[in-house]
Amino acid sequence: MTTDPARPFGRVLTAMVTPFAEDGSIDLAGAQELAAHLVDRQAHDGLVVLGTTGEAPTLADGEQHAVLEAVIDAVGDRATVVAGVGTNDTAHSTDNARRAERLGADGLLVVTPYYNKPPQAGLLRHFTAVADATDLPVMLYDIPPRSVVPIEVETLVRLAEHPRIVAVKDAKSDLGAMAWTLARTDLAYYCGEDMVNLPMLALGAVGVVSVVGHLVGPRLAELIAAVEAGDLAKAREVNESLLPVYTGVFRTQGVITVKAALRELGLPGGPVRPPLVDATPEQLEQLRTDLTAGGVHLGEVHTR
């Protein structure tokens, strides 16, 4: 949906949770309702579907395709929909990419292959194969806390030569590596770790792929606008107001706390799937305290 080549996927995107029914099945109507809420009421110009926060590793291929199709039907006319297609198997990832293109996705999120710890030459081959599989723009997902292997600067420089590899979702938080990559490539950076949204934006990131965006999308848009306007004092003020939200959501796995918050707000989310476990009463109470300190009051939406 975006027409700005410097921001190929927009400014404010959230890594959307996948709503489940209480029996653990996919809640497609809930996915559509949540997607519309994020776009229409939370200032999102894009959504990333089927990422880590979407619990993609626990979804069968058919479930993934159904969720993606439902979200595209709900908001694809007014927001960029980026499909998470990466796995630790190149052939499976390319198949996912082709299917996402057929379903109408606007772009692809491709995570560093996890568990098998490929060398940089393997990353180059993997990402290139997925980018070659479709005509869609690709956002690389650099997240060594989950993949172990970082995408090194030299590898990013080579990948940037591919016409469809246009962006990086950075959850590595290596600001030096980011600065060098920005200096040597035209890749658009999106912050993928909420606590460092401000420093990454100040270095030149064009937007965020957020988890806390489920709850504070308009304030993330305000943060980005302040940085773009050169108003560092305002950006610091907004960022400091968000610190309790960042901390509260990431006291445990973000999808656990976000789904707990969505439930309290009357929005679709449902339970998590094993091996994750739902928030305990004690975790929910702490989350309430953290979010209240950050200006988010649970129980105020209730759209259902």
pLDDT tens for the 304 residues of the chain, in order:
666 878 999 999 999 999 999 999 999 999 999 999 999 999 999 999 999 999 999 999 999 999 999 999 999 999 999 999 999 999 999 999 999 999 999 999 999 999 999 999 999 999 999 999 999 999 999 999 989 999 999 999 999 999 999 999 999 999 999 999 999 999 999 999 999 999 999 999 999 999 999 999 999 999 999 999 999 999 999 999 999 999 999 999 999 999 999 999 999 999 999 999 999 999 999 999 999 999 999 876 544 3
Backbone Cα Rg of the chain: 18
The token pair at 122 is 């393997």
Q: Encoding tokens for residue 273?
A: 């799937």
For 190, the enclosing helix (H) or strand (E) is strand 188-191
Classify strands 46-49 and 80-84 as parallel, antiparallel or unpaired: parallel
Residues in a beta bridge with 47: 14, 81
290 CA to centre of own chain: 22
d(CA 278, CA 125): 38
Residues making up the annotated binding site for pyruvate are 53, 209
Q: What's residue 1's pLDDT?
A: 62
CA atoms of 235 and 160, how far apart (whole Å) = 30
Annotated binding site: 53, 209
* pLDDT given for residue 35 in this prediction: 98
The pLDDT assigned to 300 comes to 64
Q: What is the predicted pLDDT for the residue at 299?
A: 74
Tokens found for residue 195: 């606590």
Of 114, 115, 169, 190, which is the active-site residue?
169
Active-site residue flag, 141: yes
What is the model's pLDDT at position 302?
42
CA distance 205 to 167: 10
Pick the CATH number of 12-230 from 3.30.310.50, 2.40.340.10, 3.40.140.10, 3.20.20.70: 3.20.20.70
- For residue 272 the two structure tokens come to 């998590």
Residue 268 CA, chain-centre distance (Å), reads 18
For residue 220, what are its two tokens? 């993330």
Q: How many helices (H) and strands (E) does the chain have?
A: 12, 8
Which of 141, 189, 190, 246 is labelled catalytic?
Answer: 141
Q: To 10 degrees, the CA torsion angle through 105, 111, 114, 119?
A: 130
Residue 169 annotated as catalytic: yes
**Which alpha helices (H) appear in 25-164, and where do they start and end?**
28-41, 61-75, 90-103, 120-132, 144-147, 153-159
